Structure 1
Amino acid sequence: MNIVKAIKLAKKRKMGFVRKGSYEHRIGCYLYPTNITIYKIALYLPARDEYIRFWNPMTDDLMAKDWILVKPTKSFFKAYSSEELKLMELGEIVKEK
């Protein structure tokens, strides 16, 4: 499916999405759509066990039709304010409760 449909379905079903067979898919990364200003579309990195907010799609990603939905392995539960991010120097963006 294309990225627009993947985002709509992922948001509706509270799932992540990733390109099938991509490096990110193989290592367990996925994207998670949000309406949180500082995250936009969050990227889950299993090696660091956290979500980060810096995902910059390439043209091929935006035009691809091989996006699939994936079940999140970690819930997205905390968004920090801009002030908190400054205090942390953009260190950890998501912490467990």
Structure 2
Amino acid sequence: MEERQIAKAHKLVINNRKTSMVTGVLDVLSFDLNEVVLETEQGMLLVKGTDLHVNRLSVEKGEIDIAGNIDSIIYSDTNQTGHPNENLFTKLFK
């Protein structure tokens, strides 16, 4: 039989580049005032900006709310085959 991959639920909503709501979050890898790195159902997600704050985090629901000045959103596919010694940022900017 043919195997089918079913995409998991993931949503990213940005309001006026000031607030963001993300669902389908598996893990928060790091966060500070300038960037938030998340593992989502659809791959790695890097949110860059200034004065970023995590307002709400629900690990059980896989949801996070981020506030601040959002400058960029970068996705990276976690299914990419890479070298095991590559760090996260090398994988993100391939």
Do both proteins adopt the same fold according to a TM-score greater than 0.5, normalized to the shorter chain?
no
**Greater relative contact order (CA < 8 Å, ≥ 6 in sequence):** 1
The structure having more radius of gyration, on CA atoms, is 2
Q: What TM-score, normalized by structure 2, do the two folds share? A: 0.33
Q: What TM-score, normalized by structure 1, do the two folds share? A: 0.32
Greater per-residue helix proportion: 1
Greater per-residue strand proportion: 2
